[in-house]
Every structure is written in C-alpha cells, then in structure tokens.
Chains A and B, each alone.
Chain A
Amino acid sequence: MERRDYPKLFVLILPAALVFAAFFILPMARLAVVGGTGEDGLAAYASMVTTPRHFESMVATVLLSVGVTAAALAIATVAGLFLVRNRFPGRETLVSLLTFPLAFPGVVIGFMVILLAGRQGLVGTVTQALGADKLVFAYSMSGLFVGYLYFSIPRVILTIMAAAEKLDPALEEAARSLGASSWRVVRDVILPALKPGLIASGAICFATSMGAFGTAFTLATNIDVLPMTIYTEFTLNANIAGAASLSIILGLVTWAALFIARSLSGSTVAASG
C-alpha cells in the first residue's frame, strides 16, 4: 500500500465507518450511559444479581437457550447426517421445506405454536379425543421451547449437511476396518469432523434464543425471558435505566457465548449462521 493511496482508502472506508458509528457505536454508548444514570446510578448494572426477578429471568433465559441449543444440535445432527447419506424421492423438497422456518418472523412462529399447542390447538384436540386431559402448553416456557427449536433446527441442519458432505467416506471405512463399532465411528470420526460446525451453529442457536422476542411476546406477556423483562421494565415500569443495563448485560452474555464458540472452533462462527 502506497502512502498516496491513503486518501482514496479513507473515502472508500467512510460509508462503512459511518454506518458502524451511527448504528453501532453511538447507540451502544448511549445505552451504556443510560444504564448507569438512573436513580440507582451504576448499581443498575448490579440489578441482575440484586433484583431477584431479573436474576431469575436471566437464569431462565440461559437455561431455555442451552436446552434449545442442545436439542437442536441433537435432532439436526441425526437428521442432517441422514439427509446427506440417503438419496430418496422428494429429498430435495424435504431439505427446502426444512429450511422454511428461516423465512418466518418470531410472531408467525409464536402463532404457529399456538395453533399447535394452544387452547384450540391440535395437540389439545387430539389428547382430549383420546380421553386424556386437554394438553395445552403453548403459553409457557414449553411453548417457547418448541417455537425456538422450530427455528433453530434449520440453521443447524444446513451447517451439519455442509460439514457432512465434506467428510471423506474412507475415514469411516478405515475406522471400521480397524474394528470400530458404529458408535465408535460416530464418536471418533463423525463427531470430531462435525465439531466446528456444531460449535458454530450451536453458538448461533444460543445467541438467537437469548435475544428472541417476537415469539415470546406472541405467546404470553408473563413468560420471564430476559427480552420480555427488558420490554416490561421499559414500557410498563418506565425503568429506562434498568432496561438499558439489562440490554447491555444481555448483549455481553450473548457476545461472550459467540466469542467462546469462535475461539473453540477456530473459524468464523458468524459466517456460518
């Protein structure tokens, strides 16, 4: 790079810098400042620990996100491997249908969960017809879990399929020739090969579940996940400083999860989302 190229370079980078400043740095800085200038001052940042409701909300959100991530990884790994290794009529259609949820906003997914497990839902009707109690779980953490799982699976499946297609079949055959059982092949060959993809897509799942709001808002206003708590603090309690500090903490936790995943997998996590 020649020195005389610098002005040209500056002009080229200016749009990116402006966008970055306008939509990232400034709001984040403002949010951080607002979070610390409420009635409680900087203590607002400690509210995550000091206010039981905030703490419970945080724990519930993390647990939900971890559960969704684990379930999505398990289901998508099995399904993704199956789809890569088997050719059957309708396979292409199935794959494109599986990626369909990526196109839906959270509100639509919440609506679908209600249609499935709400008071008038399919699950309830079927369980009632079978003589059992009417099963309704749409308006709780379980409903949220189903909804998040629904839109997490496609992300993982696509990553797993991409990784599994690159896997040399000879690796598996070599392990088998050395006496490895199917389970050992999975443990020693397939999972290690999928590991970067699992970490990457798992991190995306976790981050998305931590921050998702539309689905929760559609299902019920009293589900205690962190984005809902932030919304409640902000709109109902007018506790702007509290909402801002919670937002910053939510952002930090999610960013930390992505950062850890990125350093574990040694690749660009965000690029695979």
Chain B
Amino acid sequence: MTQETTAVSLTACAKTFADGTRALEPLDLEVEGGETVVLLGPSGCGKTTLLRIIAGLESPDRGGRVHFNDEDVTPRPIERRNVGMVFQSYALFPNMTVAGNVAYGLRVRKDPKAKVEARVDEMLAMMHIDDLADRRVDQLSGGQRQRVALARAIAVRPRVLLLDEPLTALDALLRDRLRVEIDSLLRALGITSIYVTHDQAEAMALGDRIVVMSQGRIAQIGTPRDIYHRPANDFVADFVGTVNRLPAAVLAGPDLPPGPEALFRPEDAELVGEGEGHFSARVTSAFFLGDRTRLILDAGGGAAPVVVESTLHDPVATGATVAVRVRPGGFMRLDGAGGRP
C-alpha cells in the first residue's frame, strides 16, 4: 500500500485540567512520516494525555500547536483529523457485527456500498478474521476483538494511527503474539503510528523511537538501543530494564567510571575468580531460571542489592562470597545532565 505519509509535530503542548492538575508540561515532539513512536512511562506520566492531544480528544493549553505535515490541525476535533484509534478496552460497537464495526468509518464517509464491502473484506483478510465477519462482538475473544479494532481503525486509511495500550488487557501469550503481528502490520502499512504503553518490552519491540515520559515531561527520546544502553538520566536508567548502582568506594580495578556511583546492567556482569573482579559480594539469594541463575548480591558499604545473572552450570550457594567483573564497556554513562528529573 503506497500512500503519502504524515509527519506529526507538536510545539509547546501543555495540558492543565479544569481542576488545576498539570498533566503535561509544555513539550515539543517531532514524529516523522511512516515512523512508529512509542510513548513509554509509568501511569500518570502524561503519555495518554499526549496521545489524546495528537488525536484531538483533548486540546492543548493556549499556545500549544499540533501539525500534521504543514497543516495546523490544533482547532480540529478528532472527527475531522482522520486519525485511527485503538483503545485498551477495544471499544467495539456492541450493536454491530464484526463486519459492521469495520465498515463503520467507511459508512460515515458515505462510500459506495460495493467499495465498503471490498475494503471490509480486505481488512478482515489482512487481520486473519475473515471467518468472524458476521459474529457479534460479544462472541469474540480479547485477541479477536483487538484485531477487529485494528481493522476498523485502518479501514479508513487514517493519516496517523494512535494506539492506547492496545495489548494491556490481553494475557501474556496472546500479548506476545499480537505484538509481533502489530509490528509487521505497521511496517507493511508504512503508516505513522504513535503507541502508548507502560510495558518496556513492548516499547523496545515496536518502536522506531521511544519517548520516555515522567511527570508530564519527556525524559528521553531515542532508539530502543539508545534508551537501553545510553539512558539520559537516572529515571530512564531505572525505568527501562534493571540497573545496578554501586558506590565507587566498593569498586576496584580497570575501566572504572568517574564519579561517586557506577551503573551497570545485570547481563553485563560475570562471576570471575577471586581477585579478578571489580568487587566482591556475598550472595543473599539465588534463583535458578533454567538458562541462567539470577543472583542477588550484597556488596557491603551500604550499597543497594546488586542483581547479577550467571550462566555457570555449577550452583552458587547462598552466603558464599563471589567476585564480580563488569564487561568492558559495561559501565553506563548517563548522557544527560545526570541528576534525577
């Protein structure tokens, strides 16, 4: 499917609700045409508010502007923005069949009947739900419902596809399967997509870029690799993946980072022979996970517990003392100013 893609651009978009709550500090965001951007953050960080501003369900505080390509769409309500939306609660119309739901946007546009039917068939086939066309939506499973919701949103050829925690209501297995499908779908369509989630694995898998948000602000924008390996600040380092923090005082050896504290990911640490590590620590608990063992260590000096993953076959006893080395390049540098946001 070839169609002109739409870039989304927000300038100085803030949101203060009627009761005075500040959901969003003024922020700028550029999303390129055809790109998939994931808004990631804990609940209450403002990611859904940001999505709703892009959708046209909320308007930004005075001064904020939303552009689709060069067009200022700020004053336009959602029904005149031509966006597709997918909700956590599926939001399928219970009084219509599956086909009726998918056809709805086309019927609102008064497309000719034959054209509507052809497009609905195409969408149902694309989402592998052709055999459900005449079902009522309350006869569908969660995964099937979300497929219908996706088909309904895409059927109208929206300029931007907005997904608000679409997989959150599904069980883990289904979530993984549908995530893969959504990923290939978005790539095949080449449509500009903005995806809200609090699940970092989803964000990593789907996003061309990830926007990490915290307390109504953007904490970092970057590719999944950037976000994971080069977090801009403490918040991003702690929110995405697991990170260990050790005071410089307990560390010794080569390649130590400057500063009072050293950060590294569990998978960048390995158990080594005595005297070869950056630090030694006492094992407080060990969890055998099959392919690896997760160790919780106490490095002394008042440091927070350290998580390390070992692939050694020999069991490690609780209470034993181990030496730990961080692989070269394993110590993380915070790219931004450093401090907590």
A positions within 8 Å CB-CB of B: 168, 170-171, 173-181, 184, 188-189, 192-193
Contacts and interface: CB of A to CB of B under 8 A. Distances in A.
B93 A177 contact: no
B91 interface: yes
Interface string B62-98: 0000000000000001111011110111011111000
Given A168-B91, A171-B91, A192-B95, A179 B85 contact: no
Contact of A173 (B78, B104, B152): B78
B93 A176 contact: no
Nearest to B100: A188
A177 B108 contact: no
Interface string B40-55: 0000000000000001
Nearest to B19: A87
Contact of A177 (B85, B89, B94): B85
Given A173-B57, A173-B87, A188-B104, A179 B79 contact: yes
B108 A184 contact: yes
A177 B104 contact: no
Among all A-B residue pairs, the 10 with the closest Cβ atoms: A178-B105, A170-B91, A192-B95, A177-B85, A174-B91, A170-B87, A179-B108, A176-B79, A176-B78, A171-B91
Given A188-B93, A189-B93, A177 B153 contact: yes
Given A173-B57, A177-B55, 8 more contacts: A170-B89, A174-B91, A177-B78, A177-B84, A178-B79, A178-B108, A179-B82, A184-B108
Contacts of A184: 108
A119 to B, nearest CB: 49
B278 to A, nearest CB: 51
Interface residues on B, range: 20 to 34
B109 interface: yes
A171 B93 CA distance: 7
Interface string B175-198: 000000000000000000000000
B325 to A, nearest CB: 51
B156 interface: yes
A158 B94 CA distance: 23
Contacts of B153: 177-178
A114 B79 CA distance: 49
A193 B162 CA distance: 25
B108 A173 contact: no
A84 to B, nearest CB: 17
A73 B83 CA distance: 35
A179 to B, nearest CB: 5
A178 B109 CA distance: 9
Contact of A174 (B80, B82, B85): B85
Nearest to A189: B93
24 contacts: A170-B89, A173-B78, A173-B87, A173-B91, A174-B85, A174-B92, A174-B93, A174-B149, A176-B78, A176-B79, A177-B84, A177-B85, A178-B104, A178-B152, A178-B153, A178-B156, A179-B79, A179-B80, A179-B105, A179-B156, A180-B104, A181-B79, A188-B93, A192-B95
Contacts of B80: 179
Contacts of A179: 79-80, 82, 105, 108-109, 156
A180 B107 CA distance: 10
